[in-house]
């Protein structure tokens, strides 16, 4: 974990040295703003970790790592517009601080910049790196579309939901590790194993986000608890509860999600009472553990040194056991 924390510091220092405040200001200032709002820096850290895992030089992976971080933040710029989100990481979202048209165009530029950073460096496996990134970018957009479609569907299953979060969140974590491994010239089989580790870790990570939104500490989580409930989001918790509940409770739960007159606090409280009744908190925890165990199985099958494997396992464990 100490090494990964050092990677995060290195990423932050690199971003500070990069000058994104270019002309025209209304195109680039939002990019600089978005990239300096903080965040966990999971994706670039995993690029460096994937490279180190297979004996590569992390300096060779720095610019591609920044490319993955720029891409991730591009998706957030556009997601905030689609979700009409007012805040991101405690600050105004880009489209609120500037406007929607600027946020769209700045996001488009970030997508192009992501490719520019990934392309920099004469990597032997560049075609495979570009193919991995491009396929992942497509899948992230597919996941976002599924998420939006779910808002108007009443037949969403747990399987549908898990596929959506795999695409929207998990594949980018897997791709970050795989791209790092490819920079280190890992063979395809081992690059795919580390990808599987990342994807399963990402699934556990997103399930934990859902869990924290419902049951976490507001102070530690950094945002209001119950946001997914208020927004009528279809999460694993809701879908599992609908699956387990009796017909009367299922009808009650559906009614709570459709009720537009009930205050937020009352709605959250009543929904959480039903969640507690059917022990979906525990069900969700078991599902997280399932994906974590699949992640362990993948990484332990790789040829990487055990000490480096242990470092990544510790990181994955922190991601799904965190309280914020």
Closest CA to 315 of 52, 91, 37: 52
| Tokens matching residue 152 | 């108007």
Give the model's pLDDT for residue 122: 73
Greatest pairwise CA separation for the chain in angstroms: 62
- Taking the C-alpha atoms of residue 161 and residue 147, their distance in angstroms, rounded to an integer, is 8
Measured in whole angstroms, how far is the alpha carbon of residue 24 from the centre of its chain?
A: 30
Return the DSSP state at 302.
Answer: S
Give the model's pLDDT for residue 260: 83
Measured in whole angstroms, how far is the alpha carbon of residue 276 from the centre of its chain?
A: 26
- Taking the C-alpha atoms of residue 209 and residue 222, their distance in angstroms, rounded to an integer, is 12
- Taking the C-alpha atoms of residue 75 and residue 43, their distance in angstroms, rounded to an integer, is 13
pLDDT digits (tens), the chain, 324 positions: 788 899 999 999 999 888 888 999 999 999 999 999 888 899 999 999 999 999 999 999 999 999 999 999 999 999 999 988 888 888 899 999 999 999 999 999 999 999 999 998 778 999 999 999 999 999 999 999 999 999 888 899 999 999 999 999 999 999 999 999 999 999 999 999 999 999 999 999 999 999 999 998 766 655 667 889 988 899 999 999 999 999 999 999 999 998 888 999 999 999 999 999 999 999 999 999 999 999 999 999 988 888 889 989 998 888 877 776
Secondary structure of residue 87 in the 3-state scheme = strand
Beta bridge partners of 4: none
Give the model's pLDDT for residue 221: 55
238: number of CA atoms within 13 Å, CB side?
28
Closest CA to 289 of 313, 322, 317, 324: 317
Q: Is the pTM of this model over 0.85?
A: yes
Secondary structure of residue 95 in the 3-state scheme = helix
Cβ(323)–Cβ(212) below 8 Å: yes
Secondary structure of residue 22 in the 3-state scheme = coil
The stretches of 36-170 forming alpha helices (DSSP H) are: 42-53, 58-83, 94-97, 100-119, 126-150, 158-165
Give the model's pLDDT for residue 216: 83
Return the DSSP state at 222.
Answer: S
Give the model's pLDDT for residue 287: 96
113: number of CA atoms within 13 Å, CB side?
24
2-321 CATH choice from 1.10.600.10, 3.20.20.70, 2.30.30.100, 2.70.160.11 = 1.10.600.10
Beta bridge partners of 87: 92
Give the model's pLDDT for residue 324: 67
């Amino acid at each position: 974990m100490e090494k990964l924390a050092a990677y995060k510091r290195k990423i932050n220092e690199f971003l500070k040295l990069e000058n994104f405040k270019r002309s025209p200001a209304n195109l680039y200032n939002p990019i600089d703003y978005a990239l300096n709002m903080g965040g966990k820096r999971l994706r670039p850290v995993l690029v460096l970790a994937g490279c180190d895992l297979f004996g590569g030089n992390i300096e060779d992976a720095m610019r591609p790592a920044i490319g993955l971080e720029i891409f991730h933040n591009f998706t957030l710029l556009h997601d905030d517009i689609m979700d009409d989100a007012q805040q991101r990481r405690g600050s105004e979202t880009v489209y609120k601080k500037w406007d929607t048209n600027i946020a769209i165009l700045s996001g488009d530029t970030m997508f192009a910049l992501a490719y520019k950073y990934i392309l920099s460096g004469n990597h032997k496996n560049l075609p495979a790196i570009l193919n991995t990134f491009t396929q992942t970018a497509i899948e992230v957009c597919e996941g976002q579309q599924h998420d939006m479609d779910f808002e108007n569907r009443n037949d969403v299953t747990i399987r549908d939901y898990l596929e959506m979060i795999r695409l929207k969140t998990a594949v980018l974590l897997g791709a970050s590790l795989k791209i790092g491994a490819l920079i280190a010239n890992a063979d395809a089989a081992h690059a795919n194993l580390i990808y599987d580790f990342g994807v399963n870790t990402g699934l556990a990570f997103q399930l934990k986000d859902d869990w924290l939104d419902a049951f976490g500490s507001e102070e530690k989580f950094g945002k209001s608890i119950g946001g997914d409930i208020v927004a009528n989001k279809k999460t694993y918790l809701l879908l599992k509860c609908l699956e387990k509940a009796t017909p009367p409770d299922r009808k009650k739960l559906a009614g709570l999600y459709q009720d537009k007159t009930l205050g937020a606090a009352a709605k959250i409280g009543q929904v959480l009472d039903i969640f507690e009744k059917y022990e979906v908190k525990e069900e969700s925890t078991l599902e997280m553990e399932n994906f974590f165990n699949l992640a362990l199985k993948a990484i332990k099958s790789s040829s990487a040194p055990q000490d480096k494997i242990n470092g990544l396992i510790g990181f994955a464990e922190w991601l799904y056991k965190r309280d914020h």
